[in-house]
């Protein structure tokens, strides 16, 4: 029999995966007329997945639609996740097409999310921030981290402070699981 051990750092990623699997299972048991809230949730997952699959145009269209739809779902538990994910996807697309200034705007918009149960617990997705750091864009990442501390800092301020110090020193931090939350 094989045994597994998990570090305390593994727990947030495990819980996030379990929540995502539960959401997908629930969606598969629905009728052909999905609940609009369920569709809103699924689009939050679909935009990053399309980007990861190399379907940039589809990812951009989904992310733009997600931002539009989010305006109608401001009281929904997924609102913060949706705005965060859509802006990260659009920023990564902008960076991929050489639009660094646009990518920076999307990163800051992602940081302005009000948070969510998931973001408040597991923290922000750092893929776009890492991509920008690789291009030497430290100031915007420091600003993004400050924005993220508003929803994530209560229990993780030391991590944000450490990452900020590393970025100021010209180091790209090891963002760990925060590079995987959206499935990139």
Give per-residue pLDDT as tens, 36-66.
888 898 999 999 999 999 999 999 999 999 9
Structure tokens at 69: 């739809």
Lowest mean pLDDT among 15-29, 81-95, 147-161: 15-29
Domain assignment present for 53:
yes
pLDDT bin (cut points 50, 70, 90) of residue 102 is very high
Confidence at residue 4, expressed as pLDDT on a 0 to 100 scale = 47
Domain assignment present for 107:
yes
Q: What is the pTM of this model?
A: 0.81
Instruction: State the sign of the Cα–Cα–Cα–Cα dihedral 29, 34, 40, 45.
Output: positive
Confidence at residue 1, expressed as pLDDT on a 0 to 100 scale = 47
pLDDT more than 90, % of the chain: 72
Confidence at residue 156, expressed as pLDDT on a 0 to 100 scale = 93
Q: CA-CA distance, 131 to 161, in Å (whole number)?
A: 20
Domain assignment present for 77:
yes
Residues 57 and 87: beta-carbon distance below 8 Å: no
Domain assignment present for 94:
yes
Tens digit of pLDDT for each residue in 1-34?
Answer: 444 454 555 555 555 555 555 555 555 544 465 6
Confidence at residue 29, expressed as pLDDT on a 0 to 100 scale = 46
Q: Which carries the bigger pLDDT value, residue 33 or residue 173? A: 173
Confidence at residue 14, expressed as pLDDT on a 0 to 100 scale = 58
Domain assignment present for 44:
yes
Domain assignment present for 61:
yes
Distances (CA, A) of 29 to 22, 34, 43, 60: 11, 10, 17, 28
pLDDT bin (cut points 50, 70, 90) of residue 182 is confident
Domain assignment present for 3:
no
Domain residues for the domain of 98 are 14-27+34-179
Confidence at residue 183, expressed as pLDDT on a 0 to 100 scale = 72
Q: What's the gap between Cα 66 and its chain centre?
A: 13
Closest CA to 152 of 182, 120, 180, 176: 120
Domain assignment present for 7:
no
User: How many structural domains is the chain composed of?
Assistant: 1
pLDDT more than 70, % of the chain: 81
Lowest mean pLDDT among 29-33, 72-76, 119-123: 29-33
Confidence at residue 160, expressed as pLDDT on a 0 to 100 scale = 96
């Amino acid at each position: 029999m094989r045994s597994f051990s998990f570090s305390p750092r593994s727990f947030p990623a495990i819980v996030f995966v379990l929540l995502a699997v539960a959401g997908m299972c629930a969606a598969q048991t629905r009728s052909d007329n999905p609940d609009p809230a369920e569709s809103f949730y699924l689009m939050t997952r679909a935009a990053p997945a399309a980007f990861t699959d190399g379907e940039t145009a589809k990812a951009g269209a989904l992310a733009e639609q997600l931002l539009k739809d989010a305006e109608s779902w401001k009281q929904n538990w997924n609102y913060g996740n949706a705005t965060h994910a859509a802006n990260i996807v659009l920023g990564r697309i902008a960076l991929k097409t050489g639009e660094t200034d646009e990518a920076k705007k999307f990163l800051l918009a992602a940081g302005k999310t009000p948070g969510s149960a998931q973001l408040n617990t597991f923290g922000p997705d750092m893929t776009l921030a890492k991509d920008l750091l690789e291009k030497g864009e430290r100031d915007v990442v420091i600003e993004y981290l400050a924005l993220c501390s508003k929803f994530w800092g209560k229990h993780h301020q030391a991590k944000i402070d450490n990452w900020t110090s590393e970025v100021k020193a010209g180091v790209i931090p090891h963002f760990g699981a925060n590079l995987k939350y959206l499935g990139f």
